[in-house]
Amino acid sequence: MLREIVLDTETTGTEARNGDRLIEIGAVELLNHIPTGRTFHRYCNPQRAVSEGAFNVHGLSDAFLSDKPVFSEIVGELLAFLADGRLVIHNAPFDVGFLNMEYARLGANAPPPIQLDDVVDTLPMARRKHPGAANNLDALCNRYGIDTSRRTKHGALLDAQILAEVYVELLGGKQTSLGLMDAQAGPVVRTVAQAAPAAPRPYRSRLTDEERTRHDSFRASLGPAAIWADYIGADDPA
């Protein structure tokens, strides 16, 4: 069974290496590309100011974040949710860069850094499928007819839910999954009824009796050494 975690983050700015921090993490669980309904969503106190540019994107203010737990207090829940799932992220280097920087701040308790090779990045997937076109999340939603009316601001959980729909479309649409998933009962295999093979149609010779008699006489005149005797039996219809 394939378990994947579609993940998105919001941050104080765009430069993890220059001190910007995670402030929101949202994730959606997929089994065999089907959402199970299990999600992860946490806000974090970044212990630094949110930049004006980032606030204009997600609307998360310093005052709103001031009473939220710091990353070290929620990382255990995050790692438990991620578990053995394969990460699916749009523009993975950005989110993975922030997650790894937060991990590194944990010191001796830091989990292993996330390797980009282990992440499904939907941005290059979209670029390969739609070369030369806009491939940000909004553009992909417009292309695939995915409803974004709830999305007045960027939010990590909502964006992860939307990305899960985009990911399925990038894989080829809903028909890519050959199984239906019940989150409680496990996978249910969908079978397609196969028609019984048709009975072979009996051979019907188009030769008249007179023509068959002349043909048989001709074959007999060639003798048993004729090369076609290796391929056509004496009683086979011509």
Is residue 58 part of an annotated ligand binding site?
Answer: yes
Is residue 10 marked as binding? Answer: yes
Distance CA 161, CA 106 (A): 28
Cβ neighbours of residue 2 closer than 8 Å, sequence gap 6 or more:
30, 31, 32, 33, 86
Instruction: Give me the residues paired with residue 182 across strands.
Output: 186
Concerning whether 41 is annotated as a catalytic residue, the answer is no
- Residue 130 annotated as lining a ligand binding site: no
> Rounded to an integer, what distance in angstroms lies between the CA atom of residue 238 and that of residue 235?
9
Choosing from 33, 41, 90, 154, the catalytic residue is 154
What tokens does 174 get? 């809903």
Record the tokens describing residue 124, joined without a space.
Answer: 């290059």
Q: Tell me, what amino acid is at 164?
A: A
Strand-strand pairing, 22-31 and 3-11: antiparallel
147 has binding-site annotation: no
Q: Show the tokens assigned to 153.
A: 């601001």
SS3 call for 147: coil
Task: Give me the active site residues, please.
Answer: 154
Q: Which residues are annotated as a binding site?
A: 8, 10, 58, 159
Binding-site residues for a divalent metal cation sit at: 8, 10, 159
Residues forming the annotated binding site for substrate? 8, 10, 58, 159
